[in-house]
Amino acid sequence: MSDNAFGRSLASLDAALIVVTTVAEGERAGCVVGFHTRSSIVPQHFSLWLSKANHTYRTALRATHFAAHFLTADDLALAEAFGTRSGDDTDKFAGIDVDIDDHGLPLLRACPNRTVLERITLLDDGGDHVCLTTRVLAAQADGPFVPLRMSDALHLDPGHGSEERAIQP
């Protein structure tokens, strides 16, 4: 299969977008993530992939806990705030209402559908993303919702391109 055919096949799936937030040594980070899935039913595990180009990736290397915020179709502004700016040179949380949980995680008030996660392992297979496998510690759901999809955010320019990678974080 050609790279183009593979991309078209995946685009047809139209993945839901989430915002992942974390904190390490008082440093907050967050980014939009399109690669994520449940990875175990019992026990409950969730896996997500972070771009090595992002500030969130470098913070995640030191972090133990994460929050996955499930975006609704009405959350394009949050996708823009966390997906088009770089945490390297801006505070993505500025002007966004957050609560801080017992692990110090910033929880986005505007996203009531979220999961608090504890890191189990990080896998770096040499690609431009790393996989975090996590244990689900808590979940909050505000009922059914229509997710914000990748196709809804195609017009947004990412804060970093996938070709940008941390050499030595």
Give how far Cα 166 sits from Cα of 53, 73, 88, 124, 162, Å: 6, 32, 12, 12, 11
CATH classification of the domain holding 127 = 2.30.110.10
Of the candidates 32, 49, 18, 35, the one whose C-alpha atom is nearest the C-alpha of residue 84 is 32
Q: Decide if 108 is inside a domain.
A: yes
Q: Decide if 46 is inside a domain.
A: yes
Q: Count the Cβ atoms, other than its own, within 10 Å of residue 158.
A: 17
Of 26-30, 93-97, 164-168, the range with the lowest mean pLDDT is: 164-168
Q: Decide if 138 is inside a domain.
A: yes
Q: Are 148 and 71 in contact (CB under 8 A)?
A: yes
Which pLDDT band holds residue 31 (cuts at 50, 70, 90)? very high
Q: Decide if 169 is inside a domain.
A: no
Number of domains in the chain: 1
Residue 41: how many CA atoms within 13 Å on its side-chain side?
0
Which pLDDT band holds residue 158 (cuts at 50, 70, 90)? low
Q: Decide if 49 is inside a domain.
A: yes
Q: pLDDT for 55-66, tens place per residue? A: 999 999 999 999
Q: Decide if 158 is inside a domain.
A: no
Residue 66 belongs to domain spanning: 3-150
Q: Which two tokens stand for residue 114?
A: 């979220």
Q: Is the pLDDT of residue 14 over 90?
A: no
Token pair 């915002």: residue = 19
Torsion sign (Cα): 24, 55, 87, 132 = negative
Q: Decide if 165 is inside a domain.
A: no
Q: Decide if 166 is inside a domain.
A: no
